Amino acid sequence: MPNTILEPGQIEAAAGAIPSLRLPARGLFVTRARRLRALAPGHSLGDVLTFAAALAEHQESAWRSLTPAPLPPAHLLARCQESAMPPLAPPAWWPAGDWRDLARALVADLTGLVPQGGTASGLVDRSNDWLETQAHALLASDGASLDLAAAPFIGAALQVHWTALAARLQPGDIGPSAQQAQCPVCGSPPVASVLRIGGAEGGLRYLHCGLCASEWHVVRAKCSLCDNSRGVTYLSLEGPDGKPRRGVEAETCPECRGYLKLCRMDQDPEVDPWADDLATLPLDLLVDQEGFERAGFNVLLLQGGQGDQ
């Protein structure tokens, strides 16, 4: 009897149906804050991680008090499915103006925790038009137009609104995206990917959206960015013992010259894609020296003077 060779994706599908989409759930920001506070002590970026933890805690509180936004109508969801378009992609979907009040509140509450003497206190007095312009620049990856001091607070406020609405959708409302590295819910790039454990998701890789926190399945046998299946390698930092640190790797592709971090729950069940991306900034520096370009979208790792993160 001839042997059957399984193609990428079939190996994972052989064990059963693959959950193709994981929508965010309440408590996400609390879990993120807990991870950040666990990573902060003794870390070279401890002040940054502590600030990010406080920011995440405020995001969870804001989510709980948020007035729910109207869901996209059924006919629009169906049309987006047919066209492989994300239904919450900006600027087609945009939150109501109360996101601006949340951004100002985050600044007022957290400016004292901004590391290295940075401040965004001037954001409180900025006009609504300025805030809207900054928000559109952030989500369009227009680094040259960003106020880098204000961007984390603006991004955090936007995350709350997009995540809250995404959490109220159903997986059946969302079809696959036309672009593998584009969130099928809001069209944003991922912050990182995560290799999950347990249940039907065990052993599967999901890309984690940097805006709405939705996760979508991408098979592990290829580059998560460009679909290339040849020469993909994984780089990691060395620990004090000279061995690779476990938990987070950088997936690098020789075809597109891009990279995205992979957070491995099989090595550290507590990893959080957003928190661990921030905590492994030295890995970005290492991979950059190897000539690869960062693809992850993290509102606390934005750069100015260029058109991307």
More confident residue, 179 or 240: 179
- pLDDT given at position 298: 94
| Model confidence pTM above 0.75 | yes
pLDDT band per the 50, 70, 90 thresholds, residue 246: confident
Burial class (CB in 10 A: 0-12, 13-18, 19+), 91: exposed
pLDDT band per the 50, 70, 90 thresholds, residue 9: very low
SS3 content of the chain, % helix, strand, coil (to 5): 40, 10, 50
Q: Where are the alpha helices (DSSP H) in the chain?
A: 10-13, 28-39, 46-64, 74-83, 98-110, 128-139, 151-166, 273-279, 281-289
For residues 24 and 27, give the distance between their C-alpha atoms in angstroms, rounded to a whole number.
9
Structure tokens at 32: 């993120």
For residues 64 and 200, give the distance between their C-alpha atoms in angstroms, rounded to a whole number.
29
- pLDDT given at position 5: 40
**What digits encode the pLDDT tens for the residues 100-129?**
999 999 998 987 777 665 567 678 889 999
Domain 26-171: state its class.
alpha beta
* Phi and psi based region of residue 16 (left: phi greater than 0; alpha: psi -120 to 50; beta: remaining): left
Preceding peptide of 91 cis, ω within 30°: yes
**What digits encode the pLDDT tens for the residues 256-299?**
999 999 999 999 999 999 999 999 999 999 999 999 999 999 99
Instruction: Let me know how long the chain is.
Output: 309
Going by C-alpha positions, the residue among 303, 201, 286 that lies closest to residue 248 is 286
- pLDDT given at position 142: 84
Alpha carbon 122 to chain centroid distance?
27
Give the containing element (helix H, strand E) for 194: strand 190-195
Domains 26-171 and 179-294 share a fold: yes
Angle between helices 128-139 and 151-166 (to 10 degrees): 70
**What does pLDDT average to over the chain?**
89
Task: Supply the CATH classification number for the domain 179-294.
Answer: 3.90.1670.10
**What digits encode the pLDDT tens for the residues 23-35?**
999 999 999 999 9
Give the domain ranges of the chain: 26-171, 179-294
